[in-house]
Amino acid sequence: MREVTFAVTQFAADADRAHNLDTAEELVREAAGQGAQVILLQELFADPYFCKTQNPAHFDLAMSADEPNWLGRFAALAEELSVVLPISFFERSGQTYFNSVVVYDADGSDLGLYRKSHIPQGPGYEEKFYFSNGDSGFRVYETAYGCLGVGICWDQWFPEAARAMALLGAEVLLYPTAIGSEPDMPDHDSQPHWQTVMQGHAAANVMPVMASNRVGTEAQDNRSITFYGTSFIASETGQVIGQAAREGRGITLATIDLDKAAKLRRSWGVFRDRRVDLYGALTVLDGGV
């Protein structure tokens, strides 16, 4: 038995970065106080979701991972509380910009960067203006509490990404997220679709999946998005075992026996029976037609 307690969090960010960072720390401390060992914060939590429109001024929000900045605060927090923290931030690397996550282990050590692989582009989610395609490849992190695969938001829609992290040895998949209403489709609610696709990753790979989303309505340049929260944790069979509300700050916890999940994963043979000789269509954009 190897039980690990996971937490997903959510909150409404505002234009005050210091306030957002304080809120994030408060949630981490609260979750750790409730027994969480791995705590997931939402995508780009330090600021409002600035990708709603294309505005060059927002490049000023980016920072280098190699320079002194607020990331060190969360490395120290991970060490103080003995928790694992995947931390999402807007990265500047030379003249290039990425949507990135750094993972801090329970001793505060930096386990390295993942740069978002899939970059969306649509009304309200104009990320290609700000971010280059990630060049890190899919990554997994050997932490004090198990091997974690971390993707970022739009990555969560791609079964190939989940399977790649599973094949690399992940035991759990985590997705920091920023998603809500569609400005050009105000009557469309993507929340059930969003959640179901990740439950499918859990079931197909026989491993737990969790996502932390933001909440609240944010307006920018005459465009607004209402983020729908519902941060959740799914078990290795894809069942939701913890879920937050659509509105409001919150913490959702679940304890998972990673050894039990691994035993079930081995018994199903979903990796043994893969036919890599038949998957060539996955390696080209048009399926090889």
Residue 19: strand pairing partners: none
The yes-or-no answer on residue 260 being catalytic is no
Tally Cβ neighbours within 10 Å of residue 198: 23
Write out the DSSP string of 44-84.
Answer: TTTS--GGGS--GGGGGG-B-TTSSSTHHHHHHHHHHHT-B
Q: In a 10 Å sphere around its CB, with 0-12 CB exposed, 13-18 middle and 19+ buried, how is residue 273 labelled?
A: exposed
Among residues 107, 86, 122, the alpha carbon closest in space to that of 212 is found at 86
**Bridge partners, residue 101, by sequence:** 88, 114
Among residues 51, 52, 91, 116, which one is catalytic? 116
Active site residue 263: no
- 39/81 Cα distance (integer angstroms): 11
The active-site residue out of 52, 127, 153, 218 is 153
Told to judge if 153 belongs to the known catalytic residues of this protein, a careful annotator would answer: yes
Would strands 146-150 and 140-143 be described as parallel, antiparallel, or unpaired? antiparallel
User: CA 160, 118, 22, 102 torsion: positive or negative?
Assistant: positive
The structure tokens listed for 138 are 């899919």
**Of 157, 163, 255, 264, whose CA–CA distance to 211 is shortest?**
157
CB 86 within 8 A of CB 176: yes
Q: Could you give the residue numbers annotated as active site? A: 43, 116, 153
